[in-house]
Amino acid sequence: MVAFIAEESKGRPAGAPEFLAYSPKTARSVRLYCRPTFWRWAATEFDPYTTDVLVNQLVLNVQERKVSIALKYEASDSTHIVFSKREVSGNVEAEILEYAERNYFQCEFLGAKCKQEDAVHAENLLCMLSYINKFRESLSDRNLDSALRLVDRGEGTICDAISRLHERFSENSGALLFELVRQGRLIIKDVQKKRISGFTHIEVGEVRHA
Protein backbone atom coordinates (compact mmCIF):
# COMPACT_ATOMS: atom_id res chain seq x y z
CA MET A 1 0.00 0.00 0.00
CA VAL A 2 1.37 3.39 -1.00
CA ALA A 3 1.76 5.77 1.96
CA PHE A 4 -0.46 8.85 1.99
CA ILE A 5 -1.42 11.70 4.32
CA ALA A 6 -5.00 12.05 5.55
CA GLU A 7 -6.71 14.65 7.71
CA GLU A 8 -7.38 12.93 11.02
CA SER A 9 -6.57 13.46 14.69
CA LYS A 10 -5.77 10.32 16.66
CA GLY A 11 -5.87 12.16 19.97
CA ARG A 12 -3.67 11.48 22.98
CA PRO A 13 -1.90 8.11 22.94
CA ALA A 14 -2.47 5.96 26.02
CA GLY A 15 -0.10 6.96 28.83
CA ALA A 16 1.23 10.03 27.01
CA PRO A 17 1.25 13.49 28.63
CA GLU A 18 -0.80 16.28 27.13
CA PHE A 19 0.36 19.86 26.54
CA LEU A 20 -2.46 22.30 25.82
CA ALA A 21 -1.52 25.71 24.46
CA TYR A 22 -2.84 28.55 22.32
CA SER A 23 -1.27 29.36 18.97
CA PRO A 24 -1.16 33.07 18.04
CA LYS A 25 -0.04 32.03 14.55
CA THR A 26 -3.20 30.02 13.83
CA ALA A 27 -5.51 31.63 16.43
CA ARG A 28 -6.56 28.26 17.85
CA SER A 29 -5.78 25.91 20.71
CA VAL A 30 -3.31 23.09 20.08
CA ARG A 31 -2.59 19.82 21.86
CA LEU A 32 0.75 18.04 21.81
CA TYR A 33 1.56 14.71 23.38
CA CYS A 34 5.27 14.77 24.14
CA ARG A 35 7.56 17.51 25.38
CA PRO A 36 9.99 17.47 22.41
CA THR A 37 7.16 18.16 19.96
CA PHE A 38 5.76 20.81 22.34
CA TRP A 39 9.12 22.60 22.29
CA ARG A 40 9.40 22.20 18.53
CA TRP A 41 5.95 23.71 18.06
CA ALA A 42 6.96 26.75 20.13
CA ALA A 43 9.85 27.33 17.70
CA THR A 44 7.47 27.42 14.73
CA GLU A 45 5.42 30.08 16.53
CA PHE A 46 8.47 32.35 16.63
CA ASP A 47 9.50 31.78 13.02
CA PRO A 48 7.78 34.50 10.96
CA TYR A 49 8.40 32.56 7.76
CA THR A 50 6.51 29.38 8.71
CA THR A 51 2.92 29.19 7.49
CA ASP A 52 0.04 26.70 7.41
CA VAL A 53 1.04 25.06 10.69
CA LEU A 54 -0.99 21.94 11.53
CA VAL A 55 -0.63 20.34 14.97
CA ASN A 56 -1.70 16.71 15.39
CA GLN A 57 -4.35 17.19 12.72
CA LEU A 58 -2.94 14.74 10.16
CA VAL A 59 -1.89 11.11 9.98
CA LEU A 60 0.38 9.29 7.58
CA ASN A 61 -1.13 6.01 6.49
CA VAL A 62 1.81 3.63 6.13
CA GLN A 63 2.04 -0.18 6.36
CA GLU A 64 -1.63 -0.39 7.34
CA ARG A 65 -0.95 1.93 10.29
CA LYS A 66 -1.91 5.51 11.03
CA VAL A 67 1.11 7.46 12.25
CA SER A 68 0.31 10.87 13.77
CA ILE A 69 2.11 13.84 12.26
CA ALA A 70 2.92 16.05 15.24
CA LEU A 71 3.64 19.10 13.07
CA LYS A 72 3.28 19.96 9.41
CA TYR A 73 4.16 23.41 8.16
CA GLU A 74 5.33 25.34 5.13
CA ALA A 75 8.70 27.09 5.16
CA SER A 76 10.56 29.03 2.49
CA ASP A 77 12.38 25.93 1.25
CA SER A 78 9.73 23.19 1.41
CA THR A 79 6.99 21.47 3.37
CA HIS A 80 8.16 20.08 6.73
CA ILE A 81 6.67 17.10 8.59
CA VAL A 82 7.67 16.30 12.16
CA PHE A 83 7.07 13.01 13.97
CA SER A 84 7.53 11.88 17.54
CA LYS A 85 9.60 8.73 18.02
CA ARG A 86 6.72 7.50 20.20
CA GLU A 87 4.76 7.05 16.97
CA VAL A 88 7.49 5.46 14.85
CA SER A 89 8.82 1.95 15.30
CA GLY A 90 10.27 -0.94 13.31
CA ASN A 91 10.86 -0.32 9.63
CA VAL A 92 8.16 2.36 9.43
CA GLU A 93 10.80 5.10 9.66
CA ALA A 94 12.45 3.99 6.42
CA GLU A 95 9.14 4.08 4.57
CA ILE A 96 8.31 7.51 6.00
CA LEU A 97 11.66 8.82 4.77
CA GLU A 98 10.98 7.33 1.35
CA TYR A 99 7.56 8.99 1.31
CA ALA A 100 9.09 12.35 2.29
CA GLU A 101 11.76 12.13 -0.40
CA ARG A 102 9.25 11.15 -3.06
CA ASN A 103 7.02 14.12 -2.18
CA TYR A 104 9.84 16.64 -1.61
CA PHE A 105 9.09 17.01 2.12
CA GLN A 106 11.64 17.74 4.79
CA CYS A 107 11.21 15.06 7.47
CA GLU A 108 12.20 15.19 11.15
CA PHE A 109 11.94 12.59 13.92
CA LEU A 110 12.04 13.88 17.49
CA GLY A 111 13.22 11.63 20.30
CA ALA A 112 11.12 10.62 23.26
CA LYS A 113 13.20 12.87 25.52
CA CYS A 114 14.16 16.53 25.16
CA LYS A 115 17.71 17.54 24.40
CA GLN A 116 19.19 19.45 27.32
CA GLU A 117 20.82 21.96 24.98
CA ASP A 118 17.33 23.00 23.76
CA ALA A 119 15.97 23.69 27.25
CA VAL A 120 16.88 27.38 27.60
CA HIS A 121 15.55 28.22 24.14
CA ALA A 122 12.25 26.43 24.78
CA GLU A 123 11.80 28.02 28.21
CA ASN A 124 12.37 31.47 26.72
CA LEU A 125 9.85 30.92 23.93
CA LEU A 126 7.20 29.47 26.24
CA CYS A 127 7.69 32.30 28.73
CA MET A 128 7.14 34.89 25.99
CA LEU A 129 4.11 32.99 24.69
CA SER A 130 2.54 33.05 28.15
CA TYR A 131 2.75 36.88 28.18
CA ILE A 132 1.46 37.11 24.61
CA ASN A 133 -1.52 34.86 25.24
CA LYS A 134 -2.45 36.52 28.54
CA PHE A 135 -2.99 39.85 26.76
CA ARG A 136 -3.70 38.65 23.21
CA GLU A 137 -6.98 40.56 22.99
CA SER A 138 -5.06 43.86 23.19
CA LEU A 139 -2.41 43.01 20.57
CA SER A 140 -3.98 44.80 17.63
CA ASP A 141 -1.97 45.76 14.55
CA ARG A 142 -2.37 49.41 15.53
CA ASN A 143 -0.99 48.83 19.03
CA LEU A 144 1.89 46.74 17.69
CA ASP A 145 2.84 49.37 15.11
CA SER A 146 2.79 52.04 17.81
CA ALA A 147 4.83 49.85 20.14
CA LEU A 148 7.46 49.23 17.46
CA ARG A 149 7.84 52.97 16.85
CA LEU A 150 8.41 53.55 20.56
CA VAL A 151 10.98 50.74 20.82
CA ASP A 152 12.67 51.85 17.58
CA ARG A 153 13.84 55.06 19.23
CA GLY A 154 17.02 53.29 20.20
CA GLU A 155 18.42 49.80 20.61
CA GLY A 156 18.87 48.59 24.13
CA THR A 157 17.61 46.08 26.65
CA ILE A 158 14.19 44.63 27.36
CA CYS A 159 14.04 46.87 30.43
CA ASP A 160 14.72 49.95 28.25
CA ALA A 161 12.02 48.93 25.79
CA ILE A 162 9.44 48.33 28.53
CA SER A 163 10.19 51.77 29.96
CA ARG A 164 9.53 53.34 26.56
CA LEU A 165 6.34 51.33 26.07
CA HIS A 166 5.02 52.51 29.44
CA GLU A 167 4.74 55.98 27.88
CA ARG A 168 1.59 54.71 26.15
CA PHE A 169 0.86 51.18 27.36
CA SER A 170 0.70 49.75 30.86
CA GLU A 171 0.32 46.14 31.92
CA ASN A 172 0.43 44.73 28.38
CA SER A 173 3.83 46.28 27.55
CA GLY A 174 5.65 42.95 27.88
CA ALA A 175 3.10 41.18 25.70
CA LEU A 176 3.45 43.80 22.96
CA LEU A 177 7.22 43.55 23.11
CA PHE A 178 7.25 39.75 22.93
CA GLU A 179 4.66 39.66 20.16
CA LEU A 180 6.96 41.89 18.10
CA VAL A 181 9.72 39.35 18.79
CA ARG A 182 7.41 36.50 17.76
CA GLN A 183 6.64 38.27 14.49
CA GLY A 184 10.34 38.84 13.78
CA ARG A 185 10.03 42.62 13.97
CA LEU A 186 12.31 42.65 17.03
CA ILE A 187 15.20 40.27 17.61
CA ILE A 188 16.66 38.75 20.77
CA LYS A 189 19.99 37.39 19.57
CA ASP A 190 20.79 35.27 22.62
CA VAL A 191 17.34 33.70 22.93
CA GLN A 192 18.70 30.20 22.26
CA LYS A 193 21.49 30.24 24.84
CA LYS A 194 20.69 32.68 27.65
CA ARG A 195 17.57 33.07 29.79
CA ILE A 196 15.87 36.33 28.97
CA SER A 197 15.75 39.05 31.62
CA GLY A 198 15.40 42.80 31.82
CA PHE A 199 19.07 43.09 30.82
CA THR A 200 18.66 41.03 27.64
CA HIS A 201 19.50 43.04 24.52
CA ILE A 202 17.01 43.47 21.69
CA GLU A 203 17.26 45.07 18.27
CA VAL A 204 14.94 45.88 15.41
CA GLY A 205 14.55 42.99 12.97
CA GLU A 206 14.20 42.76 9.23
CA VAL A 207 10.55 41.71 9.26
CA ARG A 208 8.49 44.88 9.39
CA HIS A 209 5.01 43.35 9.23
CA ALA A 210 3.48 40.10 10.55
pLDDT tens-digit readout, 74-132: 998 889 999 998 888 778 888 899 999 999 999 999 988 888 889 999 999 999 999 99
Mean of per-residue pLDDT scores for the chain: 90
Q: Under a CB-based contact definition with an 8 Å cutoff, are residues 84 and 68 in contact? A: yes
Record the pTM: 0.90
Going from the C-alpha of 97 to that of each of 21, 70, 84, 93, 107, the distances in angstroms are 29, 15, 14, 6, 7
Per-residue model confidence (pLDDT) at position 72: 96
**Range of 20-24, 165-169, 201-205 with top mean pLDDT:** 20-24
Report the 10 Å Cβ neighbour count for 27.
8
Which residues, 6 or more positions from 5, have their beta carbon under 8 angstroms from its beta carbon?
58, 59, 60, 61, 69, 72
In tens, the pLDDT along 179-205 reads: 999 999 999 988 999 999 999 999 887
